[in-house]
Amino acid sequence: MSDALREEVENWLQRHWDSDNLRAVDTEIYDEKRWLSEVVDAGYATPTWSKAWFGRELSQREARVIEKTFQKHRAPGWGKDRFSLGAITLYKMGSEALKAELLRELLIGPICCLLYSEPGAGSDLAGIRTRAVKDGDEFIINGQKVWTSNAQEAEYGMLLTRTDFDVPKHQGITFFIFPMKQEGVEVRPINQITRESEFNEVFISNARVSERYIIGDYNKGWKSFQAAIASERLIMGMGVTARSGMSSHSKAPALLRLAHKYDRLKEPALRQEIAQALAYRQLNSLTMQRAVEEIKTNGMSSLMSLGKLSMSRIQHGEARLSGTILGPRVLVNDTEDARHANFDAAKAYMNSIGGGTDQIQRNIIAERILGLPRSNDVDREIPFKEIKTGG
Amino acid sequence: MEAFSVEDRQAMCDTFSRLLQDMADEPKLRQLLITESGFDQSVWGKMSQLGLMGILIGPEHGGVGGSLVEVEALMEHAGAYLYGGPFISTCVIAPTILSACSDESLAEECLRAITEGSAIFSVAGCGSSGAWDLPPEVQAVFVDQSWLLTGTADFVSYAAVANQCLVYANVDGGKGVFLVDMNENGIALTPHNTDDATIRLSSMSLDAVVARQVAGVGEEVMEEALQVALVALAGEQVGAARRIFEITIEYLKTRHQFGQPIGSFQALKHIAADLLIELESASSAAQHAARAIAAGSDDRKLMSCLAGFTCADNYRKITADAIQLHGGIAYTMEHPAHLFWRRAQTGQWLYCSSDTLRDNYLAEMEKML
Ligand SMILES: Cc1cc2nc3c(=O)[nH]c(=O)nc-3n(C[C@H](O)[C@H](O)[C@H](O)COP(=O)(O)OP(=O)(O)OC[C@H]3O[C@@H](n4cnc5c(N)ncnc54)[C@H](O)[C@@H]3O)c2cc1C
């Protein structure tokens, strides 16, 4: 099966993709929308999805065959069923009408940002206060979001709003797919610890979104949001957000190459630490492989939920060791190695804070996988408007 | 590559697990701990009836022709009961060594005896270092048409109940493996007063002991044997770690303090979540290494080293935290936690230390540079 599939994809790419010039055959420049349309329509962008929605109903394993073949030819567009959060959420939780209206568009281009966190609601996202008020067949949105990655480029945002203040906090939430390019949406970049500014504050005043753009049901947004956040954590657990431990031109992990370059592989104590760091990364990928196999046979796997937390230890550990390997050279950002080490050390917090902190991940693992009792949320059962706030 | 179907493997494991439940549960284990040999012949007999002795031995010698995948799965069940007999030496290491023997009649004789349940093997793979990858401290010389072994081997498991022993020895500037009948003259066993009573280790001194050479077996085969032993042990450690982890999680749900189950305290929850990662990492490593060896993959040494130190260290960590999570109750001999914890310490040194394996893992990785 996988050989036949590989051959089919090879043939298709041969006919459509010019891998020397990295653009579609018979075109002069790379036109992203146009190329992605071709990939989506061929069913290679979301091969695990249903045939009704741009998919081919293939298994994860078969989908990997497609991804690998695309990667070999350096052709973009693969893996949208794993990495394209907005599209995945819509596919899973959106109504048929909403999918018909937006799904293809989301797959072929626009960035979709995540409008969840607010100044007063981070780990406790059910505490959001951005308000959506019904006005005819539209909703009027007012509020402030923060830490919104890629909000400047985004054409859409997945927006978590409060639509009922009189019920307990998880019950009055509505989840929208929200058009960003409109009056009343102001995006202000934030300077990050990494010296990048990917994330932003987003001020929303009297902006509008159609009732058709509710993901899931009115006031039941918490449920559809769960599907979205679960997909996000999965992606982070696979470690695809960070500069990955492997590089394209060498099979050896980056940390090992660094230690070799600076001649630090002769020191027994450091060898122990480096070996353990490499082991953590390899163990996580073995466990994620197991998870994929379990999903294939049982339809689900709790192992998946371990990936993101594991990845925090891996990323922080590798970054710290890179600094150790460099020694005092790490203090001076004149070399690429020092810049990488310092950048990675800061960037590792993206995994351990973003998408739910390590502490929240531990709560989830303990409560949902191990079945330990929930901690007392004092505000869980009372109407939202009576909840005390601070800081 | 994998000789058993998933269902067959599962059925075999279930049968083994029931056997252990019936004949080797904690009360039985505790009785065994105060016996001299630490070995239950009746459990061994039943395991033999089930065909487990020949798990790695081909049908031509009366075995069932399984692979290390089956061994790893069985060992997880053995580990859950802290089973401690000469299974790894007799049914995992000895067949690996003997299958490589170029003297077919010796191989047939020994392998058949294992499958029939009449042979119990010890393997003397190291000296006082405890490390199977260092040179042995036994010398073999050929005098008057026979091989004679002299020297000491240490940390030999279940030597007192074995009737055969495979001894790793220096010979003619190289290394070889020799078969010794435990009734031969010149063998002196000194049982160790091990901190972990669930396993029996002895030092073994040999004074011109008559032996037969396991022809064709040298350093390379011993290295393979070490990998196989490590993965079997890794499986055992995963099973044991899972058991003590389950016991601990159960306790977190039932023990109440301050009017609530102690498992609702985040300080404990977070330790439990971290331990689950250690447990599943160990499980992934052991299973993957077993498959790599069964398939003869190029990375089998890398994977067996990874499984070796990960399972040993994570098992120790899980048992150590399990005691803390239990509080005072686990500071007693009555509670099983210390049995697991002590056994976990054994595993960090048996065959090869975790630190050595970690270093060897890095050395394998360096080959990619
Ligand atoms: C790089 C990056 C990108 C991000 N991108 C986005 C984005 O695109 N969209 C978006 O909506 N958000 C985004 N975030 C926000 C992110 O989801 C939040 O920062 C995160 O959920 C934590 O919320 P907080 O910052 O308000 O911290 P708080 O919730 O205030 O947490 C403060 C501390 O308290 C701990 N804590 C809180 N509650 C508990 C508890 N119940 N048990 C134990 N400890 C607890 C936390 O672990 C943390 O250590 C991003 C964050 C980062 C770092």
Same-domain pairing of A304 and A187: no
Interface contact A322, partner B, CB < 8 A: no
Smallest CA-to-CA distance from B291 within A29, A230, A286 is with A286
Residues A255 and A215 reside in one and the same domain: no
Residue A89 in any domain: the answer is: no
pLDDT in tens, B5-38: 999 999 999 999 999 999 999 999 999 999 999 9
Chain B residues in contact with A268 (beta carbon < 8 A)? 359
Chain A residues lying within 8 Å of B369, measured CB to CB: 250, 252, 256-257, 260
Domain-located, residue A329? yes
How many Å apart are CA A316 and CA A345, to the nearest integer?
6
**Which residue matches tokens 């709003």?**
A161
Six token digits for residue A362: 């531990």
Q: What is the CATH number of the domain that holds A162?
A: 2.40.110.10
Mean pLDDT of chain B: 97
Contacts for A182 with CB less than 8 Å, ≥ 6 apart: A207, A208
Q: Provide the number of CB pairs (under 8 Å) joining chain A to chain B.
A: 117
Q: How many domains does chain A have?
A: 3
Residues A244 and A361 in one domain: yes
Mark yes or no for CB contact A272/B358 under 8 Å. Answer: yes
Which A residues in the span 274-293 are in contact with B, Cβ-Cβ below 8 Å?
274-276, 278-280, 282-284, 286-287, 289-290
> What's the CA gap between A359 and A123, in Å, rounded?
9
The Cα–Cα gap between B259 and B110 comes to: 62
Q: How far apart are CA B48 and CA B55, in angstroms?
A: 10
* Residue of B280, B305, B354, B364 best to disrupt the A interface, most CBs of A under 10 A: B280
Q: How far apart are CA B109 and CA B90, in angstroms?
A: 14
pLDDT score for A249: 56
- Looking at ligand 1, which residue's alpha carbon is closest to its atom 43? A359
Assess whether A244 and A182 both reside in one domain. Answer: no
Parent domain of A127: 112-220
Same domain (yes/no): A331, A301 = yes
The residue in chain B having the minimum alpha-carbon distance to the alpha carbon of residue A257 is B369
Residue A39 lies in a domain: yes
Strands B174-181 vs B201-213: parallel, antiparallel or unpaired: antiparallel
Q: If DSSP codes are grouped into helix, strand and coil, which group holds residue B143?
A: strand
> Average pLDDT of B281-305?
97
Which CATH number is correct for B121-218, 2.70.70.10, 1.10.3720.10, 1.10.300.10, 2.40.110.10? 2.40.110.10
The Cα–Cα gap between B99 and B108 comes to 9
CB contact B256 to A (< 8 Å): no
Measuring CA to CA, which residue among B302, B314, B258, B336 is closest to residue B80? B336
* pLDDT(B2) > 70: no
Q: B367 CA to middle of ligand 1, Å? A: 41
Q: Are residues A60 and A149 in the same domain?
A: no
Matching residue, tokens 């409060």 = A162
Instruction: Nearest by CB to B368, from A252, A362, A370: name it.
Output: A252
Residue A377 lies in a domain: no
Task: Mark yes or no for CB contact B310/A283 under 8 Å.
Answer: yes
The pLDDT tens digits for B51-93 are 999 999 999 999 999 999 999 999 999 999 999 899 999 999 9
| Distance from the A275 Cα atom to the nearest Cα atom in chain B, whole angstroms | 5
CA atoms A315, A319, A320, A324: torsion sign: positive
Subunit contact B261:A252, Cβ cutoff 8 A: no
- The CA distance from A386 to the nearest CA of chain B, in Å, is 25
How far is CA B322 from its chain centroid?
23
Residue A103 inside a domain? The answer is: no
Any CB–CB contact under 8 A between B254 and chain A?
no
Q: What is the model's pTM?
A: 0.93
C-alpha distance from residue A246 to each of A63, A79, A239, A249, A282 (Å): 21, 19, 11, 9, 11
Whether A136 and A71 share a structural domain: no
Residues A244 and A354 in one domain: yes
- Cα of A354 vs centre of ligand 1, distance in Å, is 6
- Closest by alpha carbon to A329, among A337, A321, A317, A320? A337
Chain A interface, mutation test: which of B284, B325, B364, most A Cβ atoms within 10 Å? B284
DSSP string, A165-223: SSSBTTTSEEEEEEE-SSTTEEEEE---TTS---EEEEEEEEEEEEGGGBSS-TTBHHH
Task: Summarize the confidence of residues B117-140 as an average pLDDT.
Answer: 96
**pLDDT at res. B326:** 98
| Residue A369 with chain B: CB contacts under 8 Å | 276
Residue that is written with structure tokens 């059962």 in the block: A381
Query: Which residues of chain A make contact with B245, given a CB cutoff of 8 A?
Result: none
Rounded percentage of chain B residues whose pLDDT exceeds 70: 99
Distance CA A379, CA B237 (A): 43
Residue whose Cα lies nearest atom 48 of ligand 1: it is A357
- Check whether residue A157 and residue A197 sit in a common domain: yes
Structural domain contains residue A376: no
- Which CATH number describes the domain made up of B6-116? 1.10.540.10
Assess whether A189 and A158 both reside in one domain.
yes
Question: Could you tell me whether strands A131-135 and A138-149 are parallel, antiparallel, or unpaired per DSSP bridges?
Answer: antiparallel
Domain ranges of chain B: 6-116, 121-218, 220-368
Pair (A51, A126) in one structural domain: no
The stretches in chain A having pLDDT less than 70 are: 1, 239-250, 390-391
Range B109-120 average pLDDT:
97
**Is position A388 within any domain?**
no
Distance CA A162, CA A141 (A): 10
Contacts of A68 by beta carbon, 8 Å cutoff, 6+ apart: none
- Kindly state the DSSP code that residue A48 receives in the 8-state scheme: T
Q: What is the pLDDT of residues A328-355, one digit of tens each?
A: 999 999 999 999 999 999 999 999 999 9
Domain-embedded: residue A104: no
Superfamily of domain B220-368: Butyryl-CoA Dehydrogenase, subunit A, domain 3 (1.20.140.10)
Same domain, A246 and A210: no
A-chain CB neighbours of B252 within 8 Å are 372
Residue whose CA is closest, atom 30 of ligand 1?
A122
